[in-house]
Amino acid sequence: MGLLDVAGLTSGYGGPPVLHDIDLTVGESEWVTLLGANAAGKTTLLKTLIGVLPAASGAVRLNGREIQALPPEERLRLGLAIVPEGRRVFTRMTVQENLQMGAHLFGGGRAEDFDRVYSLFPRMAERRRQKAGTLSGGEQQMLALGRALMSRPRLILLDEPSMGLAPKLVAEVFALLRGILTEGVSILLVEQNAKMALKSSARAYVLRLGRMVLSGSSADLAENPEVRQAYLGG
Ligand SMILES: Nc1ncnc2c1ncn2[C@@H]1O[C@H](COP(=O)(O)OP(=O)(O)O)[C@@H](O)[C@H]1O
Ligand SMILES: [Mg+2]
């Protein structure tokens, strides 16, 4: 049993299903990568996991508990946090207020959690009273990650965090994720930057047209001809 266990999950937007019969596991303190082309259904899967999109069928268990019927707040309370596609920081709020939003279920944030996030991201500490909209793309990505950490998650889902970032910042995001992993937080990373993602993660899955078509150790998948062709430039 993993920390997150997904079995036979089918989901979509009311029309024909987008995701078909998805099985997926993320272990304790494990980093798992999810690869897939545009429109494969990666974001749809993460949205279904956090509960903003209802599943048509299947089971989602977090730490052995069936969470499929629970609303997003309850899943967050149980330790499932997301860094959404496009970061979605609250641009008119300050850095500090954004972090408070990440902890709104816990009274707006515990001092030790602010301390932890600010020590992970010293630049956020310097800019804590600045509006999030004035931050660079990389800083907004760090803020989105910090906001997710404020709820003390057991598992963080990240939807293409390196999108639009310069290579140096991408490396910084990955380094931060490695640090978070060593603190015992599990990671499910959706990423177009397949090379770095496969290097950093233990296992990976490949989603194609709403179906899981490959899974295995990241090292094995990095050698897989299909993966090399589609995600690693041959
Ligand atoms: N809000 C929506 N309503 C209807 N269909 C959607 C919606 N969002 C995404 N889709 C469809 O679901 C499929 C998967 O999209 P998505 O999960 O965003 O893919 P990915 O994140 O892998 O690029 C696509 O065919 C897309 O058009
Ligand atoms: Mg997406």
CA of 112 to the centre of ligand 2 (A): 33
CA of 39 to the centre of ligand 1 (A): 6
Whether ligand 1 lies within 6 angstroms of the CB of 11 is answered as no
Q: What confidence score (pLDDT) does residue 199 get?
A: 95
Atom of ligand 1 minimally distant from the CA of 45: 17
Q: What confidence score (pLDDT) does residue 86 get?
A: 84
Atom of ligand 1 minimally distant from the CA of 47: 17
Q: What confidence score (pLDDT) does residue 234 get?
A: 65
Q: What confidence score (pLDDT) does residue 107 get?
A: 82
Residue nearest to atom 8 of ligand 1 (CA): 44
Which residues, including other chains, have CB under 8 Å from residue 153's CB and lie 6 or more apart? 76, 79, 80, 81, 185
CATH number of the domain encompassing residue 103:
3.40.50.300
The C-alpha atoms of residue 41 and residue 55 are separated, in whole angstroms, by 13
Q: What confidence score (pLDDT) does residue 232 get?
A: 85
Domain holding 115, by residue range, is 4-231
Verdict on whether the full-model pTM lies above 0.85: yes
Q: Divide the 234 residues of the chain into consecutive groups of 10 and give the mean pLDDT of each group.
A: 95 96 97 96 98 95 95 95 91 95 86 91 92 92 93 96 88 92 95 92 97 97 93 79
Closest CA to 157 of 14, 24, 65, 21: 24
The C-alpha atoms of residue 28 and residue 155 are separated, in whole angstroms, by 8
Kindly list the distances between the CA atom of residue 26 and the CA atoms of 4, 82, 225, in Å, as whole numbers in the listed order: 5, 15, 24
Q: What confidence score (pLDDT) does residue 233 get?
A: 79
Q: Ligand 1 test: best mutation among 38, 42, 44, most atoms within 8 Å of CB?
A: 44
Whether ligand 1 lies within 6 angstroms of the CB of 36 is answered as yes
Q: Which amino acid is at 213?
A: V
CA of 63 to the centre of ligand 1 (A): 28
149, 160 in Cβ contact below 8 A?
A: no
Q: Which amino acid is at 170?
A: V
State how many domains the chain has: 1
The C-alpha atoms of residue 230 and residue 208 are separated, in whole angstroms, by 11
Kindly list the distances between the CA atom of residue 28 and the CA atoms of 58, 112, 232, in Å, as whole numbers in the listed order: 22, 23, 28
Among the bound ligands, the one closest to the CA of 36: 1
Q: What confidence score (pLDDT) does residue 46 get?
A: 98
Q: What confidence score (pLDDT) does residue 15 get?
A: 92
Closest CA to 42 of 176, 160, 201: 160
The C-alpha atoms of residue 127 and residue 125 are separated, in whole angstroms, by 5
Token pair recorded at residue 140: 């907004």
